Amino acid sequence: MSQQLAVGIDIGGTNTVFGIVDRRGNILCEGSMSTKAHEEVTLYLAELHQHLSKLIDQVGGSANIKGIGVGAPNGNYYTGNIEYAPNLRWKGVIPLANMLQDLFGLPTLLTNDANAAAIGEMTYGAARGMKDFIMITLGTGVGSGIVANGQLIYGHDGFAGELGHIIVIPDGRLHPGTGMRGSLESYASATGVTNTAMEFLTNRPDDASVLRKYKQEEISSKVIYEAAIQGDKLALEIYEYTGKVLGEALANFVMFSSPEAIILFGGLTKAGDLIMRPVRQHMEKNLLPIFQNKVKLIFSELKENDAAILGASALAWEMKD
Amino acid sequence: MSQQLAVGIDIGGTNTVFGIVDRRGNILCEGSMSTKAHEEVTLYLAELHQHLSKLIDQVGGSANIKGIGVGAPNGNYYTGNIEYAPNLRWKGVIPLANMLQDLFGLPTLLTNDANAAAIGEMTYGAARGMKDFIMITLGTGVGSGIVANGQLIYGHDGFAGELGHIIVIPDGRLHPGTGMRGSLESYASATGVTNTAMEFLTNRPDDASVLRKYKQEEISSKVIYEAAIQGDKLALEIYEYTGKVLGEALANFVMFSSPEAIILFGGLTKAGDLIMRPVRQHMEKNLLPIFQNKVKLIFSELKENDAAILGASALAWEMKD
């Protein structure tokens, strides 16, 4: 029975979630704490150690744990460092995997959250048995993890797979976080959809829309979704446009690594066919014939609340014994 | 001394070149024949068999040959088939690797020409020792081969790495071969550079240029290059523009697979700094900070005349004993 469980830790800008997972993807116990309460990473780790040690005791001690997997912004798989993460209070390079390894005496691997999501999907979810797929997370931002030949692509420096920052519309919308224009994330994220709504409302003063009832700061992806399912024409066009931009980007990704499937995860997928129909249409339209009607476009099979812990924990199963 | 040589065959739309290569990339003997003279693939193979058997005898017989590697348009590594190649007279699916294996009694692997070029560069050229790089061939068309984790990315169907067909300018220039608009190949190939010249000459009637001395059908990448090195302003702007489009595309590729190097090969590279300066500038400008000033942008180290045979032959060294 020893070495049959894995610890998963997902470090977000606001909160950290953690749990202990078995090989089938059942979360046996879990917890959460604030990330941003601690300006010092050592104090953060002391609190995490306290919480997680209790959970490890609950499952019979660390002899039952194969290792710790961590998903973290700007996490580098090769070094185990968090490097210059703009959304964390800890600046510079933080050797987080080594610090956890020293604290718990357990082997630790770390990568960014979207890569962890891809490994989670390959281990427990929609990508089981697949050797070539692309995971796209459509949340506040756009993240990605790319698997080819059964392996995650980390690139020569550990930072591969930043598909959210690929330029899809040259000289397009400004991304305030990166200073770049026309990146996928500027259109296909929750923020992107809201910005598209603002643009449409401003540039088409004659088009009626229930969205005009809201103040600018009240417009959110939720409000737009509700307008769209009520048949609001402008709201539907916002999804149409977002789906076009995302579909064109996915076509380019397919011509890069020719995946068996593209797996989508995150808030934007809740719009279902509103977004997926134009995504599929514009993806197929922009593919060479040899790629057409081949790529599965599917949603994650992991529960939204579990995905972060599961993805991180799956790193532990990749460790050599 | 047995099993120390490899056969390389490169099938082009017009000609086929073939040769026998040692592990260090020396071509011991070589030959060529017409591809398009034969409407029937069996007759083509009969002629190839005749030529190549003589070369194999010259090096002491097939006991000295480890295998045959083939670079071919629309070549599928997994199946060994040439599938629906638009530039060949043989239509549909041609099981070329199996046919060669039967003819010569030697194990045979096949891939497309750009993938073969990447493996050639990894085996004998500028990518020796690299595990993550992208090869871009800039000729009549734009081809590519992507290596990650030390392996070529073939994708789930064997067709990955069609970076020439990635859309870089939505609704941009029409590619007559594919019917798609704004693909990289429409700008960064020899044809693309010529088309840019036509556009510039038409759209800027007031700009002086030595290119105006030529008839439309005389404008070629060679003529443009010669005008540019003489300081012709319009010709220089053609390279500037081509370099911008290619550089922006390369930035996107870097954010996909984070390669150690991008290796460029083919006619357009002869323009040297005229093209490379804007390529580098616009690539760096469009990269996230974590990717900036990291990626080597280098030229192939293989001689142009040898590269096709070397690339194909390198497939044979990948075969398991």
**Considering Cα of B147, then B257, then A25, then A58, what sign does the dihedral take?**
positive
Task: Identify the residue among B258, B282, B291 best suited for mutation to test binding to A, counting A beta carbons within 10 A and taking the highest.
Answer: B258
**Considering Cα of B295, then B299, then B302, then B304, what sign does the dihedral take?**
positive
Q: What's the rounded mean pLDDT across residues A31-53? A: 96
Is A154's CB within 8 Å of B258's CB? yes
Task: Identify the residue among A87, A250, A255 best suited for mutation to test binding to B, counting B beta carbons within 10 A and taking the highest.
Answer: A255
- Name the pTM for this structure: 0.94
In 3D space, the residue among B316, B148, B96 whose CA is nearest the CA of residue A156 turns out to be B148
Q: Does the pLDDT of residue A140 top 90, yes or no?
A: no
Cα separation values, B303 from A215, B273, B300, B310, Å: 65, 19, 8, 10
Please give the Cα distance from A230 to A218 (Å, whole number): 18
In three-state secondary structure terms, A142 is strand
Please give the Cα distance from A187 to A191 (Å, whole number): 8
Q: Which residues of A137-153 are buried (b: 16+ CB within 10 A; e: fewer)?
A: bbbbbbbbbbbbbebbb
Q: Does the pLDDT of residue A86 top 90, yes or no?
A: no
B80, B65 Cβ separation under 8 angstroms: no
Please give the Cα distance from A32 to A48 (Å, whole number): 9
Please give the Cα distance from A314 to A121 (Å, whole number): 9
Question: What pLDDT band is residue A2 in, cutting at 50, 70 and 90?
Answer: low
Find chain A residues with C-beta within 8 A of B258's C-beta: 153-162
Q: What local confidence, expressed as pLDDT, does residue B3 receive? A: 64
Q: Between B74, B153, B169, which is nearest A170 by CB?
A: B169
Q: What local confidence, expressed as pLDDT, does residue B2 receive? A: 56
A306, A116 Cβ separation under 8 angstroms: no
Is A290's CB within 8 Å of B159's CB? yes
Is B170's CB within 8 Å of A165's CB? no
pLDDT tens by residue, A100-115? 999 999 999 999 999 9
> Where in chain B does DSSP place strands (E)?
5-11, 15-22, 27-34, 65-71, 82-83, 93-94, 108-111, 133-138, 142-148, 151-152, 261-265, 296-299
Q: What's the rounded mean pLDDT across residues A250-260? A: 98
Set out the domains of chain B in order of their start, with CATH numbers. Answer: 5-122+305-317 (3.30.420.40), 129-300 (3.30.420.40)
Find chain A residues with C-beta within 8 A of B288's C-beta: 162, 165, 178, 180
Q: Are strands A93-94 and A108-111 parallel, antiparallel or unpaired?
A: unpaired
Separation in Å, CA of B64 to nearest CA in chain A: 31
- Only one residue has tokens 């990473």, namely A41
Nearest CA in chain A to B168: A168
In three-state secondary structure terms, A319 is coil
Is B256's CB within 8 Å of A258's CB? no
- What is the DSSP secondary structure assignment for residue A126, as one 8-state letter? T
A164, A184 Cβ separation under 8 angstroms: yes
Separation in Å, CA of B148 to nearest CA in chain A: 7
Q: Does the pLDDT of residue A1 top 60, yes or no?
A: no
Separation in Å, CA of B230 to nearest CA in chain A: 31
Nearest CA in chain A to B184: A252
Q: Which run of H or E residues covers position B304?
A: helix B304-317
Six-digit token pair at A109? 């691997």
Find chain A residues with C-beta within 8 A of B169's C-beta: 170
Q: What's the rounded mean pLDDT across residues A110-123? A: 95
Six-digit token pair at A124? 């427990």
In 3D space, the residue among B5, B54, B12, B6 whose CA is nearest the CA of residue B31 turns out to be B54
Separation in Å, CA of A214 to nearest CA in chain B: 33
Q: What local confidence, expressed as pLDDT, does residue A3 receive? A: 64
Separation in Å, CA of A31 to nearest CA in chain B: 32
How many CB atoms lie under 10 A from the CB of residue A208? Answer: 10
Is B255's CB within 8 Å of A163's CB? yes
Is A160's CB within 8 Å of B253's CB? no
Please give the Cα distance from A98 to A94 (Å, whole number): 9
Q: Does the pLDDT of residue A66 top 50, yes or no?
A: yes
Cα separation values, A191 from A36, A217, B60, B255, Å: 22, 12, 68, 21
Please give the Cα distance from A256 to A279 (Å, whole number): 18
Please give the Cα distance from A296 to A135 (Å, whole number): 12
Q: Does the pLDDT of residue A289 top 70, yes or no?
A: yes
Please give the Cα distance from B117 to B122 (Å, whole number): 9
Q: Which CB contacts under 8 angstroms, 24+ apart, belong to B223-230?
A: B224/B193, B224/B194, B224/B197, B225/B270, B225/B271, B225/B274, B228/B271, B228/B274, B229/B274
Is A180's CB within 8 Å of B286's CB? yes
B274, B230 Cβ separation under 8 angstroms: no
Please give the Cα distance from A299 to A98 (Å, whole number): 34
**Considering Cα of B120, then B126, then B132, then B134, what sign does the dihedral take?**
negative
Find chain A residues with C-beta within 8 A of B260's C-beta: 156
Residues (pLDDT < 50) of chain B are: 1
In 3D space, the residue among A123, A47, A148 whose CA is nearest the CA of residue A302 turns out to be A123
Please give the Cα distance from A319 to A51 (Å, whole number): 24
Helices (H), chain A: 41-58, 96-104, 113-124, 185-188, 190-203, 221-229, 233-257, 273-285, 304-317
Please give the Cα distance from B71 to B91 (Å, whole number): 17
Is A167's CB within 8 Å of B294's CB? no
Q: Which run of H or E residues covers position B235?
A: helix B233-257
Cα separation values, B107 from A22, A271, B118, Å: 44, 51, 21
- Crossing angle for the helix pair B304-317 and B113-124, nearest 10 degrees? 80
Q: What local confidence, expressed as pLDDT, does residue B1 receive? A: 47
Q: What local confidence, expressed as pLDDT, does residue A203 receive? A: 95
Nearest CA in chain A to B131: A156
Is A258's CB within 8 Å of B180's CB? no
Please give the Cα distance from A275 to B201 (Å, whole number): 42
Please give the Cα distance from B145 to B168 (Å, whole number): 18
DSSP H helix total and E strand total for chain B: 9, 12
Please give the Cα distance from A163 to A134 (Å, whole number): 10
Report percent pLDDT > 70 for chain B: 99
Find chain B residues with C-beta within 8 A of A159's C-beta: 258, 290-291
Q: Does the pLDDT of residue A246 top 90, yes or no?
A: yes
Is A286's CB within 8 Å of B258's CB? no
Is A163's CB within 8 Å of B260's CB? no
Using an 8 Å CB-CB cutoff, list residues of chain A that contact chain B: 74, 83-84, 130-132, 146, 148-149, 151, 153-163, 165-170, 178, 180, 248, 251-253, 255-260, 286, 288-291, 294
Cα separation values, B7 from B59, B71, B304, B306, Å: 11, 11, 18, 13
A211, A234 Cβ separation under 8 angstroms: yes
Prediction ipTM score: 0.93
